[in-house]
Structure 1
Amino acid sequence: MLMLATPQKTHQTCFHLIRHGAHDELGRVLSGRAGSIPLNEEGGRQAKALSRWATQEHVSAIYSSPRPRTVETASIIADAAKLEVQIAPDLDELDFGAWNGKAFDELSADPLWQRWNDSRATAATPGGETMAAAIDRGVAFLNSVAEAQPGGTFLCVTHCDIIRGMVAHFLGLSFDNILKFDVQPGSVSTVLLGPSGGRVSRLNEVPA
């Protein structure tokens, strides 16, 4: 999918929420906060496509979740944009507790996993975070950056559920609905924060 032009913004702070590139556990394992899986060949290609797109965006800063797969993606983008990657713990992957690193085949037999995916607004992970807690920290981070550097353009390299949750927050959707839209590896979703609040101007677009 070709990227659309960046929306015009006045007195707004722009956040491009980027999902990290693909890796070999994708679709098989709930990587979560377990392990240090690197990008695979496809993930590297996606990160390079993001880097070409980012050089046209007049980026103020690049923030990344501390997970290796996000830092690797952010570093490829940062090299092209001639910026340093700043680690932002508030952009970290949702803590899935005992589910971190488990195969989806194993999780599919767990009734708690089924409830989690049916009722994200109220269900809990086993010993980890709730959806609300994870998104509260992510949104608080965006608000703090917007307050400190209003009008800037920022890249935030993070994770699928974090992006879905923040998009749902700014759209006023229940977290129960976040599995109704996709956030692909290497995609960009954009949130604009201004005096009247936040709005979503781009969802799940992938640079060519």
Structure 2
Amino acid sequence: MTTTFHLVRHATHDRVGTILCGRMPGVHLGTLGKAQAERLAVRFTNENIASIQTSPLERAVETSEPIAAGIGQPLEICESIAEIDFGAWSGTSFEALAQDPRWSAWNNARSNSRPPYGETMLEAQVRIVGALEQLRSRHRDHSVILVSHSDVIKAALLYHLGLPIDGYARFDIDPASISTLVVGDWGSKVLRLNEVMAA
């Protein structure tokens, strides 16, 4: 018995690439992001989805809502797939972070570094992999959508690809992308990585 997971990164907000938002509140989808969310909804219309789970952050919920409406499934908030807790870095510009030696350490060796007052990427990996296992026990032979965040999705994929956390930069997870993973008692395999809907 297997469970198929569609790992969806939230759609674009107006701070992508400029601010490390982390778990800061009030980050909403912009016009582009809303259009991306609608395209995701169309993409999943004909899929047989048993459950849709979302990070509690606004940008993830706003991405999830049209998908849930399109497939006729209720939306479930899942704290375990929330963004990494970046602690004191949350809300800081990437320009300012570039001046912080701790930021360089974090990006050079995520396996043994931690954001100030935040969590490690390994801790985030434990969260999402645990969530996948719980959902697998509930939804055997079904498909589940999880709307989450780039590094959290990367952490799950690294685990199932058998790659170390420090391999996080080997692939991209774009806004509004879908990565599809199948997990069974026999193991797991990645079917699609960073699938992006054409505009």
Pairwise same-fold verdict (TM > 0.5)? yes
Query: Aligned partners of 1:36, 1:146: CA distance in 2, in Å?
Result: 32
Query: Aligned partners of 1:37, 1:148: CA distance in 2, in Å?
Result: 31
Instruction: Specify which structure has the higher proportion of strand.
Output: 2
Confirm or deny that 1:174 pairs with 2:164.
Answer: yes
Residue 78 of structure 1 is matched in structure 2 by: 68
User: Quick one: which amino acid aligns to residue 107 of structure 1?
Assistant: L
TM-superposition CA deviations, 1:5-46 (whole Å, max 9, x none) = xxxxxx210000000000100000001001211101111111
Query: Aligned partners of 2:55, 2:148: CA distance in 1, in Å?
Result: 5
Confirm or deny that 1:115 pairs with 2:105.
Answer: yes
Cα drift, residue 207 of structure 1: 2.1
Residue identity over aligned pairs, in percent, reads: 38
Residue 40 of structure 1 is matched in structure 2 by: 30
Query: Aligned partners of 2:139, 2:49: CA distance in 1, in Å?
Result: 12
Residue 49 of structure 1 is matched in structure 2 by: 39
The alignment covers a number of residue pairs equal to 198
User: Quick one: which amino acid aligns to residue 147 of structure 1?
Assistant: S
Query: Aligned partners of 1:112, 1:190: CA distance in 2, in Å?
Result: 33
* Segments of 4+ moved more than 3 angstroms: none
Which structure 1 segments of 5+ residues have no match?
1-10
TM normalised by structure 1 equals: 0.93
Q: 1:128 aligns with which of 108, 115, 118?
A: 118
TM normalised by structure 2 equals: 0.97
Query: Aligned partners of 2:119, 2:50: CA distance in 1, in Å?
Result: 30
Cα drift, residue 50 of structure 1: 0.4
User: Quick one: which amino acid aligns to residue 69 of structure 2?
Assistant: D
Cα drift, residue 58 of structure 1: 0.8
User: Quick one: which amino acid aligns to residue 83 of structure 2?
Assistant: E
Query: Aligned partners of 2:176, 2:84: CA distance in 1, in Å?
Result: 18
TM-superposition CA deviations, 1:156-191 (whole Å, max 9, x none) = 000000011111110011111111211000000011
Aligned-pair Cα RMSD in Å: 0.8
Confirm or deny that 1:62 pairs with 2:52.
Answer: yes
User: Quick one: which amino acid aligns to residue 123 of structure 1?
Assistant: S
Confirm or deny that 1:164 pairs with 2:154.
Answer: yes
Cα drift, residue 200 of structure 1: 1.1
